Chains A and B, each alone.
Chain A
């Protein structure tokens, strides 16, 4: 990657903000617009910006493809796991009321966990897709 000071400095300023915003969207999604899908694509966009500016090799040193593969599966597992827990607690699949003595608190917890699972999977898949496209050499 050639040295492009303007791009580097701007990116270094923007990437933490984008990621912080993604986390806000993820965990404040119950009160303001947001949730796992939005947070996932925003966090993914931050990582993709890093890869674009500093090169895919550098990005892969920060977050290797193998880790992302595990994360993508982990998000789906977390979602399904919440469903299984409520199933084992004697309720229907994905009925979060079973997660806590108070049904409303259970819903809170369930939604938080499920959205986290969605966010992890979406982030990981978006960055995986970017890695394999950008890492492919032209024939």
Chain B
């Protein structure tokens, strides 16, 4: 039982991670897959920040009379990762827009069919 109280943060992070993972592998829509990847990414953020959390600790800004602080190092890593994450997400979305313009669809199944059709045409 104490395991439940001490580890629920990890388990929720794993649940969110698997939700994102499932979205990526089970859905064919590219925008949905990017959203899934972002959910996956946010779960990693929550995992890191929960590692940094210290019971009774304060936000890591020096203050008179405070001795226990949360661990500032994971905060730094995740802070930069969030901004890098949005920049790379934007790159992924830009690729989706180009795929839509080239294929007329953003469904992976249809893209694959179109590719196979093209392949047969060029073989003939």
Which residues on A are within 8 Å of B, measured CB to CB?
31-33, 35, 37-38, 40-41, 122, 125-126, 129, 132-133, 136, 139
Contacts and interface: CB of A to CB of B under 8 A. Distances in A.
Interface in B66-111: 79-80, 82-83, 86-87, 90, 93-94, 97, 100-101, 104
B79 A129 contact: no
The interface size bin for chain B is 10 to 19
A41 B83 contact: yes
A40 B94 contact: no
Chief secondary structure at chain B's binding surface: helix
B59 interface: yes
Contacts of B82: 37
Contacts of A40: 83
Nearest to A136: B97
Nearest to A40: B83
A129 B59 contact: no
14 contacts: A31-B61, A32-B61, A33-B59, A35-B79, A37-B80, A37-B83, A38-B79, A122-B83, A125-B87, A132-B94, A133-B93, A133-B94, A133-B97, A139-B104
B42 to A, nearest CB: 16
A44 B100 CA distance: 27
A35 B59 CA distance: 15
User: B87, B90, B100, B101 — which one has the most chain A CB atoms within 10 A of its CB?
Assistant: B90
A132 B98 CA distance: 12
A36 B82 CA distance: 13
A119 to B, nearest CB: 11
A132 B97 CA distance: 11
A114 to B, nearest CB: 13
Contacts of B79: 35, 37-38
A32 B82 CA distance: 19
Interface in B9-42: none
A37 B76 CA distance: 11
Given A33-B61, A37-B83, A139 B90 contact: no
A93 B13 CA distance: 37
